[in-house]
Structure 1
Amino acid sequence: MSDHASTPVPTSAPGDDVPATTAWWRALRGWPSAARWGVYVAAGLVLVLLAGLVSGWVFYRKPLPQTSGELDVPGLEGRVEVVRDDMGIPQLYADSDADLMLAQGYVHAQERFYEMDVRRHVTAGRLSELFGEKALDTDKLVRTMGWRRVAEQEVALLEPETREALEQYAQGVNAFLADRDNSDIAVEYTLLGLGGLDYTPEPWSSVDSLAWLKAMAWDLRGNMQEEMDRVVAGLDHDQAEVDQLYPAYDERARRPIVTQGAVVDGIYEQDATRNATRKPQRPAYPRAAVDQVAALSERLARMPALLGKGDGIGSNSWVVDGEHSATGMPLLANDPHLDVSQPGIWMQVGLHCRTIDDDCALDVAGFSFSGVPGVIIGHNADIAWGFTNLGPDVSDLYLEQVREDEWRYDGAWRPLQQRTETIEVRGGDDFTFQVRSTDHGPLLSDVSADHGTLGANVPADPADPESDVGRGNGYGVALQWTALQPGPTADAILDLNRASDWPSFREAASRFEVPAQNLVYADREGHIGYQAPGRVPIRKSGNDGRLPAAGWLPAHDWTGDFVPFTALPSVLDPDEGFVVTANQAVVGSAYPYGLTTDWDLGYRAQRIRDVIEAEGELSVAEMAGLQVDEHNAMAPTLVPYLLEIDLPRGYFRRGQGVLRNWDFHDSADSGAAAYFNVVWSNLLRLTFSDELREQVRPTGGDRWFGVVEGLLSTPADPWWDDVTTDDAVETRDDILEQALVAARDEMTKLQARNPGDWSWGHLHRLDLRGSTLGESGIGPVEWLVNRDGAEIGGGSSVVNATGWDATEGYRVTSAPSMRMVVSLADLDDSRWVNLTGVSGHPASDHYDDQTELFVEGETLPWPFSRDAVEEAGEDTLELVPAPAD
């Protein structure tokens, strides 16, 4: 018998009721008392942690929506079925448009109310209520522009059917919110509550939906940033040098969207061969208020992206007729390029009337904005449509002479329009300020800390050289912008949803005023088309929109007229048999109205055209494949120059060597693509950073393709010289050599010494981050809401437009926010995919379940007919009228 067997073991410790028969207790009895208490504390902390994890898990999953069974919904007139497939995509069936709108509001709120709530706080200038003083600058800017005030005015302009749809949608959202605690709505409210936020969401309203259209218009507003950047670039360079940085669109090398037709007597006729109106004169602007415009540019750059900003914001869409389609009927593709975020911009949805009649006319599916009724991009039973940003110049900055409460115009002083705004700030005092406006628009400079230095370079007023406004101060910057005038764009959304042919489609498009978009079209009768809609101002002869204008001179004003819708470019069944839009010039330079000079230079568009012409006939799969085409249009031009550089043998030449057999595609697994893009980044830095101020340095997109293309043929151009070296004048080949060497070292540091281990995807990562809590700086919270790290191909100004900013690194900054291909031969044969998923709940399987497909360039089946939807259905939720009280 062992010694241990003869040792008596108590059944419990003195003073405790804890069993002592376990091995861990026998071991513990011999420890010092302090150590024992340490273990007790640790054990207690473990239990608390476990309890917290269980509780956290409950709160994490608590907001997940009910997707099956039955729910009573106040306001419904009849039963609505919500059929969700295995990706959670909802298809709604009802017997009236009113019930469909109400149910869409309910389902949007189920999946994405927190996103909707944040959006309405942005557009109302009320972010500070949720996030404190750090959001104050954004709120001041939005309040100054008055987005919500304009939206409130728009309600009265809308058709009764649109107002009813907005009201029904809001009623559905509010039916969801009724009797729900914050923790039942979104986990973000739970987390914000733990941080001290005392907040209950307000009921939804029609204005909340309309105001989001202002956010769309802001991020897609045209060339306002270019106006400011030209001023900043002009601080250190003459006009010829600035012009080199903004190359003109080359319509011979890269075709515009519409390649036939002209304006005759104010109407765009697609078979006309020349215009019958006079082209307006557009003299150059005066230079003005450089310092203040630069300060304003910096302030606007700090405003958070709503849909996105920068070179990567654009889109691809194209449509081919039956002659170019393997199906014998049109195919239409679209992929808008916007900011990357989690959740993504879009929510897929279908809205179907069980029987089409006067009370129920909708049978549509596609991509919606949470917070807005209807489908923005998609197809119905008769037609399909897609959007890309047309990008006309619809905003102007005006330099205004200001003193106290007056502004100067045409030699006389006029009173400024003024109003008071008060912003509630979480954790701080309310902030009250005055918004001042001229006849041109609100003074954005009033929200810039540097507005007192405005006007340092304003030329003397030729009409009054003795003006008593002091030079170097006494000026302001006003914004005139079409979106600050009420309009009926909300009508257009629902009219597009109900359109059945080309005339009704164009009628709907005529109401789509802001943001101006390229609209591509296809129908079940075999027609394809293009229409440019939008409210585009006609300027007086002194204003070409390229630079801020002197607001005290009437010659710089808008005329008050807009390009007539009938004169905007359009074409039905074009001679080419296809239409390609990718933000390039809409028409050639002979067009008599000024749309803009700041087009995308057309590299993506021309690549799409080339592939369509080479293929001759495309299938649905080939259309989807073209959306992820990764051909880098700059590479065939630049690589031959790079290979001519004689680098030292060994380490540096082995890096250069990966370019020799490269196919010029920015594939995720390509080492050559990685090296080329790092060379490109260093080339831009070495060529321009010595001479350009930080805020206008090259980001690497299409404009810089054009700039460098122009410089490569002039090896001694002054831009190549590094002005920081006193004893040398660098030429093109010097800079190319330095870029190759620097890129080789950078690739070794970032990836590996062996070029065989390089890949573009390792550098070019898709990080999907929440726009609020995803940037909180709190690790566990960011882990909860963000989805980072996907390695992806593509790049800036590539058809697979995963843009990156050369001033920031190689991370994806913008991307196709969705992809769709619509087959007009068989709508059930169409394809779609979202950047993230339909849900805004991090705990949902559908928060990011489409991202892997997206990254791999794959798409999902897009069922549309009732039979196809039911076959794909996984869950069905019945929304039924709530019993009367």
Structure 2
Amino acid sequence: MVRIAPFARLPRPLRWAARVLTTLLVLVLVVAIAGAGVVVWTVRQSFPQLDGEIRLPGLAATVTVHRDAYGIPQIYADSPADLFRAQGYVHAQDRFWEMDFRRKTTAGRLSELFGASTLEIDKVVRTLGWRRVAEQEIALLAPETRKALEDYAAGVNAWLDQHAGAADKSLEYAVLKLTNGDYTPERWTPADSLAWLKAMAWDLRSNMGEELDRALTAGSVPVDRAEQLFPGYPFDRHRPIVTGESGAGTAAKGMTRVVRQAVPEQARALARTAEAMRALPALLGTAGGDLAGIGSNSWVVSGAHTTTGEPLLANDPHLGPRIPSIWYQAGLHCRQRGPACPFDLTGYTFAGLPGVVIGHNHRIAWGFTNLGPDVTDLYLERTKGDTYQFRGEWRAMETRVEQIKVAGGAPVSLTVRSTGHGPIISEVLADAGRAVPGAAAKLGEQPPDLPQDLSQGVEVALRWTALDPGRTADAILLLNKADDFEDFRAAAAAFEVPAQNLIYADVDGNIGYQAPGRIPVRAKGDGRWPAPGWTGEYEWQGFIPFEKLPYVYNPPAGYIVTANNAVIRQEKGGPFLTGDWSYGYRSQRVVDRLEQAIAKGKVSVETMQDIQRDTRNGLAPLLVPHLLRVGAGEPLRGWDFDQDRESAGAAYFNAVWRHLLRRTFGDELPDSAQPGGGDRWYEVIRALLDRPDDPWWDDVSTTDRAETRDDMLTAALADAKAELTELLGDDPSAWRWGDLHTLELTHETLGSSGIGPIEWLFNRGPLRTQGGKDTVDATGWDATEGYQVSWVPSMRMVVDLADFDRSRWINLTGASGHAFHANYDDQAELWADGQTTPMRSSEKAASADAADTLTLTP
């Protein structure tokens, strides 16, 4: 989320000028004095019309919009043009501020709204060039997709034409007008829609964080010790997605490793990458910038194992929390489905993009989790001014000048420099510079002309598949009208970035899985460490052909589970996808729960939902006996390893876990590589528990003796008890995980202003939550910062292929983006309680559930 805070607090990444915040505070006080009637009028002015009739120019025929009690629209039209035009209009009704903010973000134009405080973010986005790539993609798309984007934009613009005033659009514009009265939103364009896919690709960009962490860590400790902190996937304990029994897909193969040899630390160029890199994910949805372990759950069960006799499909993508939620639930239906109008959809959409991203049509259902292939490489570049060395010769960089407009100030010029590998990012992404020493250590060589300040002689370029124009927007519409697995795979072939695990089920009883994406083939190296760009040895030689990517169709087990775990064992003979998977704690727990349910009988919709709410901690059964051995008592004694909201054991265990990580690694790792507490660290600690005298246990800041495993365990118990006594009281039996593990639903722009009345207008919460970072109910938290929730199951869905109207779903917040609207946060408490609502799709069911019906007329 964007943080806009007063100068006294100065949290990252955004700061408004003190005069702006003072003006806002005065506004709040004036409005309060003016009386409740003015407040109500201001808030309600932008609420959309949900029933009756509205004229929508350009329609060929009337469009009906049924909304249920949660404000979720089901749109019925006679043609794709009318359907997508109406979708654009309805999205704008509920979410235009969010849409406008997103397009300013992805174009690197936030400073036009918020002034100089957002220049850092704008510079990063302009350097990456998301908007430029999106504009280039339009010509590559199928005519049908371009037409859908144009029709959608026409619907958005029709709404804009009808809502000229600031207060007519949303409360946010009324507040913004006081400090930036000249701002008027531009008309919507297809490129505005496409650019958001780049933002999502950045959030789900695979192992770039791990690549930086490895290099940063190797700059502080020997490379072999750094490698200990990045263990391999535990195939002996956690199954991959595609198992040997499936007989489908392609095995993965490791690539040549770079020679290990440490050299002295001399560089700072890579290290300038992490701070700004952390700022961008916080802006785009993965709060705190801690991407390690973030992902999603999805699984599908064949009718042979279900109570309905047809498949059941579950999905819950994990993204950063904010209000409104990143997802917008909707239905898109042709009144008479056929070749001329093939859409009959219900699912989750992005406000700003036509079509349904996750959901079902009349025949198939699909879900996503992050595949996480290695599609980013960092290249160390030898540079002199605007030239770089490549295979013994000096080449001119490609340069361009970006003009960034700044509200209340003069425009700022930014020169973007690119090598043949991609844009130079070490000046705008802070940790890229700091990681150079470790990268040099891993490479085993140092450029002979390397100065002490590497920012003047070695810089870092980013190669990333999302910076090449692609066709992912085609894939969404192809999925939306797919009839069978063959159509589904054809859609997947166009799904280039971000590469996702795609699961499938159809009304004929089939289930399947496909790994898509543009995944590079490297001449040398495995992409795990920054590579020397000047040698020409580590170039991308192309991309893995789609037909060689793993897939599964009707596996003998009768179910498929994906949760960012390894796709397939890395065996000889196939393409290399990545070495940095999530470690399979969530996926194996889902497998275990499914097999238990199948052994007892049949899997129902309720079973699927219960598994989505599973909170068992996968490390606790191993670690708790060690803690009990060194003296831990209540509430760990007798704890069942579940992390429900009322659990005292979960509160104590997670506090111990946090302090154990700090005690064990805080003395040797750099700040930007400190452990956030995900399942990679589960595997690290698992191995260290068998080595009580491993050097990692030793606190290097003490000199009297070398600390051991049991010293660290004992100290972590004491630290946790002291912290929880201060936070929750001195009675351990009264400690509650839900009192620590809370979720604030924060508005991504005005919600962190630092002014209480402004935050009160837009923020909601806190919500007491259960689960944890690597439980199936994945409510993530960062051990370096505290126990507050930083990413969540952004929605939950279970689709019943026997009767789509019996499907269930929930969103994190609500359909509306208008503060104080009844549908602004009406799903939040349900979400926190693990509940869902009916996911209707048929016109009969939608009509019966309709709380409002709006007719859009030509």
Q: What TM-score results when the alignment is normalised by the length of structure 2?
A: 0.92
Matched, 1:407 2:384: no
Aligned partner of 1:773: which letter?
Answer: L
Give the superposition deviation at 1:178. 0.1
Trace 1:86-485 onto structure 2 (pairs within 5 A): 86-180=69-163, 181-260=165-244, 271=247, 280-284=255-259, 290-303=267-280, 304-308=282-286, 309=289, 310-447=291-428, 470=451, 472=454, 473-485=456-468
Most deviating of 696-705 and 442-451: 442-451
Q: CA deviation at 1:278?
A: 8.0
Partner of 2:491: 508
Instruction: Point out 4+ residue stretches in structure 1 off by more than 4 angstroms.
Output: 45-50, 272-275, 277-280, 284-290, 448-471
Asked if the contact 1:219/1:305 (under 8 Å) is kept, the reply is no
Maintained 8 Å contact 2:212/2:432: no
* Higher mean displacement: 373-382 or 718-727: 718-727
Quote the Cα distance in structure 2 between the aligned partners of 1:424 and 1:487: 28
Q: Is the 8 A contact 1:383 1:501 kept in 2?
A: yes
Mapped contact 1:820–1:833 kept (Cα < 8 A): yes
CA drift at 1:272: 6.5
Q: Using the alignment, how far apart are the partners of 1:126 and 1:491 within structure 2?
A: 27
1:59 aligns with 2:42: yes
- For the 8 Å contact 1:312–1:815, the answer to whether it is kept is no
Q: Does the 8 Å CA contact 2:267/2:433 hold for their aligned counterparts?
A: no
Separation in 1 of the partners of 2:443 and 2:250? 38
1:855-875 Cα distance to aligned partner (Å, 9 max, x none)? 000100111111111111110
1:436-494 deviation per Cα after TM superposition (whole angstroms, max 9, x unaligned) = 10010010123368999996688699999996565643121100000000010000001
For 1:5-44, what aligned pairs fall within 5 Å after superposition? none
Separation in 1 of the partners of 2:446 and 2:585?
47
Report if aligned partners of 1:231, 1:290 keep a CA contact under 8 Å in 2. no
- Return the alpha-carbon distance in structure 2 between the equivalents of residues 274 and 60 of structure 1: 56
Worse overlay, 195-204 or 159-168: 195-204
Q: Residue 191 of structure 1: SS of its match in structure 2?
A: helix
Contact 2:271 2:436 in 1 (8 A): no
Matches of 2:301 and 2:438, distance apart in 1: 51
Name 1:572's counterpart in structure 2: 553
Partner residue in 1 for 2:622: 637
Higher relative contact order (CA 8 A, sep 6+): 2
> For 1:46 and 1:294, how far apart are their aligned partners in 2?
44
Distance in 1 (CA, whole Å) between partners of 2:757 and 2:733 is 36
**In structure 1, distance between residues paired with 2:441 and 2:613:** 53
Q: 1:664 to 1:47 in 2, by over 3 A?
A: closer
Write the distance in 1 (CA, Å) between the matches of 2:254 and 2:776.
34
Equivalent residue for 2:4? none
Matching residue's letter, 1:474: G
Kindly indicate whether the alpha-carbon contact (under 8 Å) linking 1:102 and 1:172 is maintained by their aligned counterparts in 2. yes
How far did 1:788 drift? Answer: 2.0
Distance 1:868 1:597 in 2: 46
Superposition RMSD in Å: 2.3
Q: Does 1:799 align with 2:781?
A: no
Secondary structure of 2:478 counterpart: helix
Cα distance in 2 for residues equivalent to 1:684 and 1:458: 24
In the alignment, the residues of structure 1 paired with residue 151 and residue 357 of structure 2 have an alpha-carbon distance, to the nearest angstrom, of 18
Which residue type is aligned with residue 706 of structure 2? V
Select the residue among 705, 709, 713 that pairs with 1:736. 713
1:659 maps to a residue whose letter is L
Q: Tell me which amino acid in the other structure corresponds to 2:645.
A: A
Q: Shift of the alpha carbon at 1:193?
A: 1.1
How many percent identity over aligned positions? 52
Contact 1:73 1:175 in 2 (8 A): yes
Counterpart residue number, 1:606: 588
8 A Cα contact 1:79 1:878, kept in partner: yes
How many pairs were matched up?
818
Counterpart for residue 593 of structure 1: 575
How far off its partner does 1:741 sit? 1.3
Question: Which is higher, the Rg of structure 1 or of structure 2?
Answer: 1
Opposite residue 692 of structure 1, the aligned amino acid is L
Structure 1 position 549 matched with structure 2 position 531: yes
Q: Deviations over 1:382-405 (max 9, x none)?
A: 000000000000010111111122
CA distance in 2 between counterparts of 1:425 and 1:707 reads 46
Normalised to the residue count of structure 1, the TM-score between the two structures is 0.90
How far apart, CA to CA, are the structure 1 residues paired with 2:72 and 2:668?
Answer: 51
Note if contact 2:109-2:122 (Cα within 8 Å) is conserved in structure 1: yes
The alignment status of 1:496 with 2:479, answered yes or no, reads: yes
CA distance in 1, matches of 2:31, 2:579: 64
Cα distance between partner residues in 2 of 1:603 and 1:836: 27
* Deviation per residue, 1:540-590 (Å, 9 max, x gap): 12x21011111001111111x101100000010011111000000000011
Q: Deviations over 1:83-141 (max 9, x none)?
A: 00001000000000110000000000000000000000000000111111111111001
Find the aligned partners of 1:175 and 1:187 in 2 and give their Cα distance: 20
Choose which of 672, 677, 702 in structure 1 pairs with 2:649: 672
Residue number in structure 2 paired with 1:836:
813
- Alpha carbons of 1:274 and 1:844: their partners in 2 closer, same or farther (altered >3 Å)? closer
Residue aligning to 1:816: 793
CA distance in 2, matches of 1:790, 1:451: 36
Q: How far has the Cα of 1:829 moved from its partner?
A: 0.7
Contact 1:64 1:843 (C-alpha < 8 Å) held by counterparts: no
Gaps of 5+ in 1: 1-44, 262-269, 647-652
Give the AA of the match of 2:618. A
Provide the residue aligned with 1:862 in structure 2: 839
Separation (CA, whole Å) in 1 of partners of 2:741 and 2:796: 20
Counterparts of 1:260 and 1:438, CA distance in 2? 42
> 1:700-726 CA distances to partner (integer Å, 9 max, x unpaired)?
111111111111111111111111111
Structure 2 contact 75–83 (Cα < 8 Å) conserved: yes
Q: Does structure 1 retain, via aligned residues, the 8 Å contact 2:89–2:158? A: yes
> Is the 2:261–2:441 Cα contact (8 Å) retained in structure 1?
no
Deviation at 1:757, TM superposition (A): 1.4
| Residue matched to 2:678 | 701
Matching of residue 721 in structure 1 with residue 701 in structure 2: no
Residues 273-310 of structure 1, C-alpha deviations (whole Å, 9 max, x = no match): 997x9865344588798522122122212223313242
Question: 2-side partners of 1:284 and 1:333: how far apart?
Answer: 43
Structure 2 contact 798–808 (Cα < 8 Å) conserved: yes
Give the gaps of 5 or more residues in structure 2: 1-27
Structure 1 residue 756: deviation in Å? Answer: 2.2
Amino acid of the structure 2 residue aligned with 1:387: F
- Aligned pair in 2 of structure 1 residues 868, 692: CA closer, same or farther (>3 Å)? same
- Counterpart-to-counterpart distance in 1, 2:506 and 2:447: 63
Q: Partner amino acid for 1:234?
A: A
Q: Give CA-to-partner distance per residue, 1:53-81, whole Å, 9 cap, x none.
A: 32222111111100000000111111000
Question: What is the aligned partner in structure 2 of residue 35 from structure 1?
Answer: none
The 8 Å contact of residues 408 and 552 in structure 1, kept in 2 or not, is answered as yes
- Rounded to whole Å, the distance in 2 between the matches of 1:294 and 1:112 is 38
The alpha-carbon distance between structure 1 residues 848 and 160, as it changes in their structure 2 partners (threshold 3 A), is same
